Amino acid sequence: MNKIKTILAAVAMSVTANVSAQSLKMTNQVVRITAYEASTSVNLVVVKPEQKLDALDPSAFTVETNGIARNVKIVYTCDDRGEWTDGGEYLAFGLEVSKEREAAPLIAKGMGTWSTAYPVKVALKAGKSIKAGGKKFTSVDCSTSHALRNFLSESDFFHRGTFTSPSTGKPGMETLTYGAYEPEALRMDGKKNPMIIWLHGMGEGGTDVSIELMGNEVVSLIRNDIQSHFTTDGGEKGCYVLAVQCPTMWMNTSKGFGNGGYPSLYSDALKACIDNYLKINPDVDPNRIYIGGCSNGGYMTMNMLIRHPKFFAAAYPTCEAYADANIPDYQIKQLAEENIWFVQSFDDTTVKPAEYCIPTYKRLMEAGAKNVWMSMFENVTGTDTPGQRIYGHFSWVYVFNDQVTGSQEQSKADMKPTNNGGGTIAPQGHANLFEWLNAQVLTEPKK
């Protein structure tokens, strides 16, 4: 009898062990990508468990993204897009920002591209267990190695489109991709509204505008901090945002790569794209269009000002790559009539200020420019990680952080770089770049 009891007890223990060792299956749904000053990161993973968990304890879980262990800060019930929902069928794992480059889903290889395989794995920490439906689970089955295709980001707030137009300088057509942020309140107010244009740098070309929007944190232009600086005829705060992407680089010309000696292949296509957007969006005020961009996009900003005088109400070229040596005196006189605010870091070694914006700015001062300004920073210091020194070419960080608050003195003298807003002068009395842009309105009819 004792032998039989022993066997029965062993069987019971085995059954109990098998029950307690059950694995709860969770299905990966989406990840959310967040744009930062110098990178992107997956900071939210959404899964669907087979059963609802009885309790949510972030300390019980581990999450890996692209092989990098992540710290789980919060777990909450949500919908399939990661929005909090009380008692939702899905779970969202909020992750601490990772400093590991491999955790970034955006790869820079000349042109930016999303990772083609971004594995995500959710598991339980050693010795931890969870309960769902009254049952105990000691492991989680939730992993994927498929390509990163279904993701969420602030770029989802942009309407996507393409526009095709003849090339400049050679036969053929060029197709541009664009993302347009169109605030609902502005679309419904029946009034004319301002629009800000952004043109990307070398690494964000292609046919996926989300790379342009996320790669350099261009999405910050739709955040309230910047949108609140703009006013509309309808009394609302905010502005339209149009981010245009070329398939390669804005600095491509019929003669090869250039920095102002020849017009960009995309010169006519970009102007036609903007004109077409204004045609299909008549509530955008044609007298309040502001254009800017970084590096390659700064070059294209200067290119557009030169080719289309008095079309844009103002421009904000950032670390612009249009060589001063390629701007003749007659074009300087023309540019002196425009409203321009240059932004750059003095330690930029990619686009050297001494060969680009500084001599151009001084020549504009000599030509009598009245509403041309320059913010010159010492270096680029970030805020995502306070005090973090960033590569000097990344002066667009100050634009998107809304930290461009001052200008150098309007003088032909040497620059006095400062990380305190870029200068000591408040252009036209305005507190920052975006308030200054908002105040600029064309006074002459557009041609």
67-101 confidence digits (pLDDT tens): 899 999 999 999 999 999 998 999 999 999 887 87
Residue 283 reports pLDDT greater than 90: yes
The answer to whether 43 and 95 are in contact (CB under 8 A) is yes
Does the structure show a pLDDT above 50 at 13? no
- As a whole-number percent, the residues of the chain with pLDDT over 90 amount to 76
Q: What is the DSSP string of 60-71?
A: GEEEEETTEEE-
The answer to whether 228 and 251 have CB atoms below 8 angstroms apart is no
Taking only the tens place, the pLDDT of each residue in 178-226 is 999 999 989 888 899 999 999 999 989 999 999 999 989 999 999 999 9
The pLDDT of residue 115: 79
Residue type, 49: P
Neighbours of 401 (CB within 10 A): 16
Q: What is the DSSP code (8-state) at residue 53?
A: B
* pLDDT, tens digit, 9 for 90 and up, residues 118-166: 889 999 999 999 999 899 999 999 988 665 666 889 999 999 999 999 9
**Contact (CB, 8 A) for 289 and 195:** yes
- Number of helices (H), then strands (E), belonging to the chain: the values are 10, 26
In degrees and rounded to multiples of 5, residue 184 shows phi and psi of -60, -40
31: left (phi over 0), alpha (psi -120 to 50) or beta: beta
Q: Taking CA 87 as the corner, what is the angle to CA 86 and CA 93, rounded to the nearest 5 degrees?
A: 80
pLDDT of 444 reads 57
Looking at residues 421-441, what average pLDDT do you find? 98
CA distance 98 to 102: 9
What confidence score (pLDDT) does residue 323 get?
97
DSSP three-state, residue 339: coil
> Cβ-count burial of 410 within 10 angstroms (0-12 exposed, 13-18 middle, 19+ buried)?
middle
Q: What separation in angstroms does the CA of 324 have from each of 39, 317, 355? A: 30, 14, 6
Instruction: Report the C-alpha dihedral over residues 259, 407, 40, 99, rounded to 10 degrees.
Output: 120
Does the structure show a pLDDT above 60 at 420? yes
Report the distance separating Cα 216 and Cα 219, nearest Å. Answer: 8
Residues 6 or more apart in contact with residue 18 via CB below 8 angstroms: none
Q: Structure pTM?
A: 0.90
What residue ranges in 333-447 does DSSP mark as E strands? 340-345, 372-377, 380-381, 389-390
Once rounded to an integer, what is the mean pLDDT over residues 275-282?
A: 96
Instruction: Give, as one character, the DSSP assignment of residue 40.
Output: E
Spell out a b/e string for 237-247, using b for 16 or more CB atoms within 10 Å of the CB, else e.
Answer: ebbbbbbbbbe
Q: Within a 10 A sphere around the Cβ of 361, how many other Cβ atoms? A: 25
* Range 367-394 average pLDDT: 93
Cα 210 from chain centre: 8
